[in-house]
Chain A
């Protein structure tokens, strides 16, 4: 496969994870356009359908990127476990990311939205019901070491702030509120505290 074909396949596979109902129709049309006018035509987003397909795939791609970044993992012996409410069905992708990163650990990613847990077994990911893993997650969350780590990161986070560079518009743009609720970020609350309520209301 050449680089353009790889790019096109990637777009298709990410777009398939998008919840928009029209996605199947869009995908079919773009496939037809690719057949009739070639890869350059669809990769350049010249048609409305190609542009929408690209938009679906980049939304999902960005979401995976953000989720990999913001989800926090709890550690218990050789297990790393994380939980989030995923808007898109990407929990498996997230689990795969951490399997690549920590090949020696058992990775568990709980998707509160679908009620499923994605659990690594070697390099493979198996799907289970979320309940029993959620209980396990909650029990670790209350541990002293987990709270201490959170506190430690809080100290580090606070130390990085340069007051003269405070820029609430940029901060809000970089991390829209929809991510705050999904990932329960400590720092999100900090930003929120620093911004007058009416501005927040306008933005979110």
Chain B
């Protein structure tokens, strides 16, 4: 197989892994050598967009699509009849460096099937990254997947040479995981490894932290379960970000007959995730239906506001945490309003809020301005 054919197979096999961000907070006072190639950008950069609207920023490939595991949703699972191949470290490094220097991609996302043995395969992945770092002198972004079940030593090396690492939890708990595979053990293969990642990431000062991914839908798990797990991971594992991937059935896998999960569900889970991470809102405030799922016909923040007795809110008196819970006010606007409150400024006109960047249509039913509150939600229709 030539390089082009390998790219076709191994990039396609890795496309379901999510790696949205390429930004990082560089290590303080990091002095970069002059004979290097590449650097880390502080803001996420997208080099092109797919017909799905998703950004293509990283050269996303598997080192190998050989795998002894049987994850029922995955196109690389051991029962799938697909062409199997692998890159050598030289092939992959050379191809990547050409694409990077031509500014087609912002970095590398390297994952892999686990081959016959996760330890051996992880070693091969590390050798590839070391080749890039030390032979090619590449100092840009590398997101390295940690294979489930690998040793602590491998995680130590990975967190010392990558920009970001991740291990996929895939499911919110052990019983849901058992619906997805018979070969991965949730607590030992995944959670225990994530704990090691947390420890080693801290020790090695991993610049972009560690992340994880959950497949949404195939194990019939609820949104409440997903949110609880993510919240716990942020709390206990110093997780930088959780990613959600709405399940899409893939032909030739045991789950090929399952229903596709609506993208809106994934989108709403991201909104909750943002509210937890950036707004500091606790998971118990979210509104789920009796089955533990989100109502997909109503925006989650709006649903929360309707249930809350916080409103109508006096903007001139409201705290940051109250502002952030108001539909139409995001973190930037909440910060701006708080800043103005500190100067003694009193908001009295809609135009002032508009200039600030507040969405009037969404906010007016929930605030009091000059003693007036908009009585209806008609503007939402």
Contacts and interface: CB of A to CB of B under 8 A. Distances in A.
Interface of A: 37-38, 40-41, 43-48, 50-51, 65, 68-75, 80, 82, 98, 100-104, 149, 151-153, 155-162, 164-175, 185, 187, 190-191, 194
Nearest to A160: B15
B52 A161 contact: yes
A187 B49 contact: yes
A174 B49 contact: yes
14 contacts: A46-B355, A69-B47, A73-B102, A149-B102, A155-B11, A156-B7, A161-B15, A162-B15, A166-B51, A171-B51, A171-B53, A174-B55, A185-B48, A191-B51
Given A41-B340, A45-B356, A160-B11, 15 more contacts: A43-B336, A44-B337, A44-B339, A72-B102, A72-B104, A101-B140, A151-B4, A155-B8, A155-B11, A156-B11, A159-B12, A160-B12, A160-B50, A171-B50, A174-B53
Given A104-B35, A167-B263, A153 B52 contact: no
Interface in B50-103: 50-56, 59-60, 95, 98-99, 101-103
A152 B7 contact: yes
Given A44-B339, A104-B35, A162-B15, A71 B49 contact: no
B43 A168 contact: no
A158 B293 CA distance: 34
A203 B263 CA distance: 23
Given A50-B355, A149-B99, A38 B343 contact: yes
B37 interface: yes
Interface of B: 3-4, 7-8, 11-12, 15-16, 34-39, 43, 45-56, 59-60, 95, 98-99, 101-104, 106, 140, 248, 260, 263, 336-337, 339-340, 342-343, 345, 352, 355-357
A51 B354 CA distance: 10
A44 B340 contact: yes
Contact of B345 (A46, A98, A158): A46
B52 A171 contact: yes
Nearest to A123: B34
Contact of A65 (B45, B99, B342, B356): B45
Contact of B7 (A50, A69, A101, A155): A155
A135 to B, nearest CB: 20
Given A156-B7, A167-B52, A73 B101 contact: yes
Contact of A162 (B8, B47, B52, B140): B52
The 4 closest A-B pairs by CB, nearest first: A170-B53, A165-B52, A159-B11, A159-B12
A162 B16 contact: yes
Nearest to A61: B43
